[in-house]
């Protein structure tokens, strides 16, 4: 079984991610939400992922984070290019395979914050 991205959006902008243009395309950070589900089946799980640039990280490290910060659940890009971002995420999700969707979902959670992260059954 493999996964597929069924939706991608950001709650803090007033436009779609396709139309969004940050003030500085080479210095931005934005949290997006992803809906990922089994390919060819109903259902999906939600994830969050920080999309940011090295310049944005540098600014945050220098002026807000005191020179050090843990990094997780992020995709670092050189500039805001939604087509590249979408393709990179979709490619990772499609390669995340498993015997069932639970296994696929756990693999996606290696790069994006999963709504069921650390869930114990």
**Are the C-beta atoms of residues 33 and 9 closer than 8 Å to each other?**
yes
| Cα angle: 15, vertex 90, 55; to 5 degrees | 60
Question: Phi/psi of residue 65, each to 5°?
Answer: -105, 5
Whether the CB-CB separation of 76 and 57 falls below 8 Å is answered with yes
**What is the model's pLDDT at position 121?**
65
Q: Where are the domains of the chain?
A: 3-114
Confidence of residue 120 (pLDDT cuts 50, 70, 90): low
Q: Are 33 and 8 in contact (CB under 8 A)?
A: yes
Alpha helices in the chain (DSSP H): 54-63, 82-95, 101-108
Instruction: Report the predicted TM-score, pTM, of the whole model to 2 decimal places.
Output: 0.92
Average pLDDT over residues 50-73: 96
Burial of residue 63 (CB within 10 Å: 0-12, 13-18, 19+) is exposed
Mean pLDDT of 80-100: 97
Please state the rounded mean pLDDT for residues 97-111: 94
- The CA distance from 94 to 83, in Å, is 16
Nearby residues of 86 by Cβ (< 8 Å), 6 or more positions away: 5, 8, 17
Please tell me the least confidently modeled range out of 39-53, 70-84, 91-105, 107-121. Answer: 107-121
């Amino acid at each position: 079984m493999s996964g597929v991205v069924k939706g991608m959006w950001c709650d803090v902008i007033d436009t779609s991610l396709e139309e969004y243009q940050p003030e500085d395309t080479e210095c931005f950070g934005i949290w997006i939400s992803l809906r990922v589900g089994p390919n060819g089946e109903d259902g999906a799980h939600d994830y969050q992922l920080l999309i940011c640039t090295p310049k944005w990280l540098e600014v945050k490290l220098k002026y807000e984070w005191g020179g050090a910060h843990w990094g997780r659940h992020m995709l670092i890009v050189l500039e805001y290019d939604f087509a590249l971002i979408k393709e990179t995420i979709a490619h990772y999700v499609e390669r995340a395979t498993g015997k069932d969707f639970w296994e696929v979902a756990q693999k996606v959670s290696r790069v994006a914050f999963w709504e069921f992260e650390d869930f114990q059954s």
